[in-house]
């Protein structure tokens, strides 16, 4: 038997695996092409055309509001008009396929509006300033977000940490609504009070195993001294009618605060925690960098930018290029600051 198989192979019969390949090729190629044993001709095809779906914008741009100070050593105000955006927020947006236009908080209002006309969504960063010109700019941008959506133009907002706190103050019309919590430099879980409320939210795209992991393992980074308790949010008519609670988290003393919310009628998502840090910041030891933590960050970035892709705004390419954050140079401050590795400074 062995010698007969060997003899057949020697006489030119192809081995079984090659015979299967030739039969498959023969099924899709003309007879003349398939007849030439050993020659595989790939089918000809047309080049991929540019996307034509007007409902999906594949070149979204996000505006990020700068924060007062230079971002180094926790300095909020250094006696100048400087402001900054941590590069981690920029990379967070870029990781999902979008670009960034910096909305410098202390620029003239007409300049701010000009830049807003170029973007498809907005991000409010973390920080500490809750008053003055910065807060006034946040209020103007937030109203712009509401106005756009009320006019039927999709325009998402993602607000993190301080951003969530400021939005809560604006919606409630109460600048004293925030409560004290001990959640500085703390990794935590996310608890889901109502799984049915996750439908249509950012968490709907999460694998069920990752949702479970979020509720049992410390996959997210908290770094705040203030927040809102579930009781306060539910009892405040303005907040409870505007937001639904997606997750809560405990601070170092076991006190529970709201950690993720989503607006009921607007594409607005807010987190008290920092999804950008798991991938792009390494200054604090408590920042989770596990594969699951990275997946959480990527899911949030993809969700936010998927909302921006629904935008009907198609800004002129040349004006976008003139205003992109690439026109500024990033500064490495990781040796003297534990808050950020890299920042963009505007002065």
Report d(CA 270, CA 263) in Å as an integer.
8
Q: What are 76's two structure tokens?
A: 């909020």
Burial class (CB in 10 A: 0-12, 13-18, 19+), 25: middle
Alpha-carbon gap, residue 113 to 107, rounded angstroms: 10
232, 179 in Cβ contact below 8 A? yes
Cα–Cα distance between 186 and 15 in angstroms, integer? 62
Side-chain half-sphere exposure of 312, counting CA atoms within 13 A:
6
- Distance CA(95)–CA(274), nearest Å, equals 15
Catalytic choice (67, 224, 270, 274): 274
The string over 200-210, giving b where at least 16 C-beta atoms fall within 10 Å of a residue's C-beta and e elsewhere, is ebbbeebeeeb
DSSP per residue, 66-107: -EES-SSTT-S--SSS-EEEEHHHHHHHHTTT-EEEEE-TTS
* Annotated catalytic residue 224: no
Of 161, 224, 270, 289, the active-site residue reads 161
CA angle 259, 261, 265 (to 5 degrees): 175
Catalytic residue at 274?
yes
Q: Which residues are catalytic?
A: 161, 274
């Amino acid at each position: 038997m062995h010698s007969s198989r060997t003899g057949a192979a020697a006489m030119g019969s192809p081995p079984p695996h090659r015979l299967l390949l030739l039969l498959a090729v023969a099924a899709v190629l003309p007879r003349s092409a398939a007849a030439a044993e050993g020659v595989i001709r790939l089918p000809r095809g047309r080049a991929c055309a540019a996307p034509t779906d007007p409902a999906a914008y594949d070149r979204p741009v996000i505006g990020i509001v700068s924060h007062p100070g230079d971002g180094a050593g926790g300095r909020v105000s250094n006696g100048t008009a400087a402001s900054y955006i941590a590069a981690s927020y920029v990379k967070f947006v870029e990781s999902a396929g979008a670009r960034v236009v910096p909305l410098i908080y202390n620029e003239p209002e007409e300049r701010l509006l000009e830049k807003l006309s170029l973007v498809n969504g907005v991000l409010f960063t973390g920080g500490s300033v809750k008053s003055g010109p910065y807060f006034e700019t946040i209020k103007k941008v937030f109203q712009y977000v509401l106005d756009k959506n009320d006019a039927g133009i999709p325009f998402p907002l993602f607000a993190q940490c301080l951003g969530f706190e400021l939005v809560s103050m604006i919606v409630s019309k109460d600048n004293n609504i925030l409560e004290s919590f001990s959640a500085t430099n703390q990794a935590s879980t996310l608890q889901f009070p109502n799984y049915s409320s996750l439908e249509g939210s950012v968490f709907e795209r999460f694998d069920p195993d990752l949702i479970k992991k979020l509720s049992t393992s410390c996959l997210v980074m908290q770094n705040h001294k203030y927040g809102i308790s579930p009781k306060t949010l539910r009892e405040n008519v303005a907040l409870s009618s505007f937001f639904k609670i997606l997750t809560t988290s405990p601070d170092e003393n076991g006190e529970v605060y709201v950690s993720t919310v989503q607006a009921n009628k607007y594409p607005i998502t807010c987190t008290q925690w920092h999804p950008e840090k798991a991938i792009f910041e390494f200054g604090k030891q408590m920042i989770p960098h596990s594969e699951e933590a990275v997946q959480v960050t990527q899911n949030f970035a993809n969700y936010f930018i998927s909302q921006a892709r629904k935008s009907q705004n198609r800004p002129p390419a040349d004006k976008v290029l003139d205003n992109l954050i690439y026109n500024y140079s990033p500064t490495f401050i990781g040796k003297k600051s534990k808050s950020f590795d890299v920042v963009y400074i505007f002065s």
